Amino acid sequence: MSFKHELGQVVQVTISGEEGHIKARAEYTNMCNQYLIHYLAADGRAVDAWFEEGELSPAKLD
């Protein structure tokens, strides 16, 4: 299975609207692709968190 998003790409967490860039990605045999996103949380903290591929969309660049 190929990855939908590229390393370094800016993406949006679909449910919250927060944006960040992809630092890493993981491929598994028994589950969907995962991405480690570095983003600024709504409360102002810098966060690294893993998300499933379906939880992300490309960020809209203005």
Closest CA to 54 of 8, 15, 9, 26: 15
pLDDT of residue 1: 62
Rounded to whole angstroms, how far apart are CA atoms 27 and 7? Answer: 13
Domain assignment of residue 2, yes or no: no
At residue 39, φ and ψ (nearest 5 deg) are -145, 165
Domain assignment of residue 5, yes or no: no
pLDDT of residue 60: 85
Domain assignment of residue 25, yes or no: yes
pLDDT of residue 62: 66
Instruction: Please give the chain's pLDDT, 62 residues, in tens.
Output: 689 999 999 999 999 999 999 999 999 888 899 999 999 998 999 999 999 999 999 998 76
Q: Would you tell me how many other CB atoms lie within 10 Å of the CB of residue 55?
A: 17
Domain assignment of residue 52, yes or no: yes
DSSP code, position 54 = G
The residue range of the domain holding 29 is: 10-58
Distance of CA 35 to the CA centre of its chain: 5
Beta bridge partners of 48: 38
Count of structural domains, the chain: 1
